[in-house]
Structure 1
């Protein structure tokens, strides 16, 4: 706990004794520093009031402490208000999503080999990932997320370097390194911490943040994972936009937003422009070759022949006789990854649109709750880290829905907390623990204040300077 020091840098025992007694009643050790700082500031302010009334310094301090009340009672009250606050609503929603996923995967496992030992092994393999995911969430929940803001460059560069090193031995699927997408998921919240560290650095900090993002996209393109590039670039642009809107860089906002979104727009559009023949089949099926637009055509065919409730009909271009498939098992024969990446398409065909809409509504409700956590953060670091987490989850949901609803023909990825995929499930559960940690520590995390200058134009030689003290950090804002 930080000791109180008076104006002469000598330890003031009366104030220290009061604060120590208060903190002894507070069981959450992490809250001690923030509470002691608040009490010190309050005592100091009240002490100055008494001094102005003519009291001596020692008497003024004694009266200021006396006005605070009994230290034990104050500590007990603060212990009640400064307890860790888990969001039970989010935990309940995640739990329901996991239960739905378990039920869906159990049903899917029965169709793998008609209930044989291989089907049981498939289901048991899926269940093995759940304890690891729960452990990841609990570990991140109790971790100190402020490390992201304290060591942003080290944490970000370390994870990115590991991603690069894994190119030497990581497996590939359809010419794409499968680890790239998972590292993009991890790097988005870390990138939020990096942007947070560039506050008050002006256009140079904005360009620096953009350059780090471009380097990351180059690594993802090396994958090559176009979906990871788009996911990271859009999420990073949203994070930078939030920083600009909050005036972190102290620049002209319209110029800052232009510097962010013009390169991102070019990055997204470049593959579509220069490789139009290849990427046009991501959205259209007319005249598509078998290996390109056929997947999209097949998904749209199953969806267009689905019902509100119950199993849908087969598309006209697919017949059960041509595939020699067992009764009711055509979609399992023709739709790749029907049990994980395209499980929503499978669910719509097997159970109808109503069941799928209920699952989508549950995920949307979870995202709304997460967004509320972002908006309730008093800490700037907590705000931007939570925004990075929600952008990661939203991006995965958009990718999954675009692929499973036949909007776009890119390769799908698991839906957070619903689709199987042990690695993605563990990472998403860890991200959920991170955002819950942000919510839990909202009352005790203090932002490091930086000296910043306004980008506004000066009028004559007049200058205005404002000072704001938050704990042990001092911010000076000078308007030129």
Structure 2
């Protein structure tokens, strides 16, 4: 058999096999691997005395039915789908969009609103279909870019050059550092020098910024980053993605958590955050405090029935709206002032000069509504609590149940990912979403840590909402392409491939 005949026979066989592979970008690598196997078989049969023609026929015959081979390979190397997770994700997105449209608008909503659900949904879909393969292909550029973005924002914040977009951008960059560091850990895991250099450099930079800038410590993204990064590190140790003895690795992870978390306990602003979080009543000084909002939410939740919304009389609502229910016996000067009074501005100026900060009241007892007495930013920070106020505890618990199902399905998919990098990346993104949800729910029940995070899918936001769509899309994408995308073995953050 001449070369052309051999090529035609082998090509026909390989075409039959690869035609069964549904993910077309995977066909060339499978074809190349099978062709190599065929060539080995041909050489083996020729060494046994077969003629070239008979060796080719025997080699092809020994491989088996090409359609069956292709079907089996397709079953192993196929794009995975997560229908239940997709369904509950769409349900929560529609729920968040509907609640944002239903809840009474505020000037802030008119400026920002729930329009971010639209680009967020588009970003989610694009990331699901293209995210993980593109991340693998351009991992070096993306890693360096995000690190430089965070460094620039850290310098700006530390130097007190504050602009309007700086806080949300810092939040955005901090959350995206979680998957970036996960990729760095994975790709440097076989080189102790690179691993230690990356770990020491990252830890040193972190501590420098944390101790030099108080602004970093008032952002919930900091503690979400810490918990997510350490949780991911432990996950990689548990799955033996990181080489070494587990007891030493776990001890190192615990020590790293204590070291990186030290600014949260050893700085004044860090201790203030923890005190306000654990004991909100001890940190209430005025009605404009977040801790007061927490106490107010706890009070209103205690009065909400199981099966229907909160019902309060006009005088009761006025007491809650002005803060009189809490400050009448503590500090009457903090009680809200009616803006209809002619001497309003003079009174306010005088009180502010004395250190008092009363709330501005824009309503009367005969026209006060539930929307008037809710905390500021209730439309996105207290969405779960507002749902309970409006419809009762049972519908609110149903919404909590759906959120719980979302995270259950999410981590169920993550734990079924086999690839080391894909599973670590998905777990890091899942941790980031989970801790945001936990801190958001704690804030809705009166225990707020620093600034409010965004509740993934449900609570509206700006860059934080887009960031969560990107993180969720990476999880979907890592699960989708787990069996068809080749993971990198080595990593060089500066040089090109």
Give the shorter-chain TM-score range: 0.7 to 0.9
| Cα distance change on mapping 1:144 and 1:179 into 2, 3 Å | closer
Q: CA shift at 1:108, angstroms?
A: 0.6
Map residues 401-440 of structure 1 onto 2, 5 A cutoff.
Answer: 401-440=441-480
Q: CA shift at 1:339, angstroms?
A: 0.4
Structure 2: how far apart are the matches of 1:274 and 1:42? 63
Cα displacement string for residues 388-436 of structure 1 (whole angstroms, at most 9, x for unaligned residues): 2211211210120121112344321221111111433322222222222
Structure 1: how far apart are the matches of 2:413 and 2:272? 43
Tell me the residue number matched to 2:422: 382
Tell me the residue number matched to 1:252: 245
Tell me the residue number matched to 2:254: 261
Equivalent position to 2:305, from 300, 304, 307: 307
Q: CA shift at 1:188, angstroms?
A: 1.6
Q: CA shift at 1:146, angstroms?
A: 4.0
How many residues get paired?
431
Q: TM-score, normalised by structure 1?
A: 0.77
Structure 2: how far apart are the matches of 1:294 and 1:401? 17
Name stretches of at least 5 consecutive residues in structure 1 with no aligned partner.
1-10, 452-480
Specify the structure having the higher radius of gyration (Cα): 2
Please say if residues 311 and 350 of structure 1, whose CA atoms lie closer than 8 Å, have aligned partners that are also in contact: yes
| Cα distance change on mapping 1:384 and 1:296 into 2, 3 Å | same
Please say if residues 414 and 423 of structure 2, whose CA atoms lie closer than 8 Å, have aligned partners that are also in contact: yes
Map residues 320-359 of structure 1 onto 2, 5 A cutoff.
Answer: 324=364, 327=367, 329-330=369-370, 332-359=372-399
Tell me the residue number matched to 2:175: 185
Q: CA shift at 1:386, angstroms?
A: 0.9
Structure 2: how far apart are the matches of 1:164 and 1:450? 25
Per residue, is there more helix in 1 or in 2? 2
Map residues 125-144 of structure 1 onto 2, 5 A cutoff.
Answer: 126-143=113-130
Aligned alpha-carbon RMSD (Å): 3.7
Tell me the residue number matched to 2:152: 165
Please say if residues 28 and 84 of structure 1, whose CA atoms lie closer than 8 Å, have aligned partners that are also in contact: yes
Q: CA shift at 1:326, angstroms?
A: 6.2
Equivalent position to 1:208, from 184, 187, 198: 198
| Cα distance change on mapping 1:246 and 1:328 into 2, 3 Å | same
| Cα distance change on mapping 1:75 and 1:255 into 2, 3 Å | closer
Equivalent position to 2:413, from 357, 362, 373: 373
| Cα distance change on mapping 1:278 and 1:362 into 2, 3 Å | closer
Tell me the residue number matched to 2:403: 363
| Cα distance change on mapping 1:265 and 1:15 into 2, 3 Å | farther
Higher relative contact order (CA 8 A, sep 6+): 2
Q: TM-score, normalised by structure 2?
A: 0.74
Name stretches of at least 5 consecutive residues in structure 2 with no aligned partner.
1-5, 325-360, 492-497
Matched, 1:235 2:232: no
Structure 2: how far apart are the matches of 1:25 and 1:82? 11
Map residues 275-294 of structure 1 onto 2, 5 A cutoff.
Answer: 275=268, 276=271, 279-291=274-286, 293-294=291-292
| 2:296 counterpart SS class | helix
